[in-house]
Amino acid sequence: MARFPDALTPWVDLSTGINPRPWPVDQVPAVDWTRLPDPQHLAELEATAAQYFGVDAPHVCATPGSELCLRLLAHAGLPAPFTCLWPAYRTHAEGLPGCRLAAPDELAERAGDPGTLLLANPNNPDGRLLTASQLLEIAAAKQQAGSWLVVDEAFIDAYPEASIASKVWGGRRNRDELPVVVLRSFGKFFGLPGLRLGFLIGPRDIVIQMKALLGSWPVNAAAVEIGCRAYADAAWQAQERDRLQEEASRLKALLQGHGLHPQGNSPLFQLVEVDEERGGAIRLFEHLAGYGILTRPFSYNPRWLRLGLPASAADYARLEAALTVWRTA
């Protein structure tokens, strides 16, 4: 706002991959802030989330957001050296000490490496989506190598069939020996990132160590109450999956209509590649910012720009107007 003082207001924030229509928190009774969260209520949250994930409850640990959980993995028994696929979340490389970067086309090669491999599915920012079968093959290779696979499923809620969690830790099977840890985020699909709620899904010993690191009250009372109700709201979840796909198609068509080519399989954001002869992504970023539209550029790739879903017809109209001027300039 300081850099673009003449921009249209209010700003339209398309810089995040957050559902712009959150789960209705007005359905939740008033939270009692005078008491610590009840341990039994926390157990209920983990059990409800486990059912949503399709896993057994003893394999689930509630965390105050998936990012903190990521940063604690090195202290929860996962071995070094750490490798993460890149490009991905910036915090992937930051959160694991000495993390090495590997390109997506190195995935098969890295599957047999020692230590711990971290990847996101769907990936951010390009939306690349691996199937559960592909991930299980990688997990099998990690098991043979005596190493570990961590899958960050922050954006998987729109594609539950692609989640590896239920394939590994569901069905009351004894899979404690399989070296897989899954991270889940509540805030993105349910549109409530400020609640700071996430989950680790993995072997019982890793879950126990993570709970010991987090202590007796890992998440606040509001997160427990809202999480319990939202994860149990199957009707809202089904409706949102359909609606988000429709919104993603709408945004994709708008971008394509202005000569951009969105990629990826996450309905919560679209990544476009802007040719250098058109000034690259930074020029488009600055042009949109002049219209009060915030998007996400990437310092490591000057051709990439990521756009989240507009929240309203007015937001779509402003984006349409801005792109029309940009295309004809």
Q: How far is the C-alpha of 281 from the C-alpha of 303, rounded, in Å?
A: 5
Structure tokens at 250: 């709408």
Q: Domains of the chain (ranges plus CATH)?
A: 12-21+235-328 (3.90.1150.10), 28-232 (3.40.640.10)
Q: What is the dihedral of CA 210, 75, 64, 204, to 10 degrees?
A: -20
Structure tokens at 314: 């007015």
Neighbours of 146 (CB within 10 A): 11
- The pLDDT value given to residue 90: 86
The pairing of beta strand 304-308 with beta strand 296-297: antiparallel
- The pLDDT value given to residue 164: 95
3-state secondary structure 80-112: CCEEEECCCCHHHHHHCCCCEEECHHHHHHHCC
- The pLDDT value given to residue 278: 75
Give the contacts of 99 (CB within 8 A, at least 6 positions apart).
82, 83, 84, 92, 93, 118
Handedness of CA 213, 217, 222, 223 (dihedral sign): positive
- The pLDDT value given to residue 178: 81
- The pLDDT value given to residue 240: 98
Mean pLDDT per 10-residue run, the chain (329 residues)? Answer: 96 97 94 93 98 96 94 92 93 90 91 94 96 94 94 96 92 67 97 97 95 96 97 98 97 96 94 87 97 96 96 98 93
Q: Are 155 and 188 in contact (CB under 8 A)?
A: yes
- The pLDDT value given to residue 118: 97
**Which DSSP letter does residue 197 get?**
-
Q: How far is the C-alpha of 304 from the C-alpha of 295, rounded, in Å?
A: 11
What length is written for the chain?
Answer: 329
- The pLDDT value given to residue 170: 81
Q: Are 164 and 134 in contact (CB under 8 A)?
A: no
Distance in Å from the first CA to the final CA of the chain: 24
- The pLDDT value given to residue 104: 92
Q: How far is the C-alpha of 261 from the C-alpha of 305, rounded, in Å?
A: 11
Q: How far is the C-alpha of 25 from the C-alpha of 321, rounded, in Å?
A: 33
Q: How far is the C-alpha of 213 from the C-alpha of 103, rounded, in Å?
A: 32
Express each pLDDT in 170-181 by its tens digit: 865 555 568 999
Amino acid occupying residue 318: R
What is the percent of the chain with per-residue pLDDT over 70, rounded to a whole number? 98
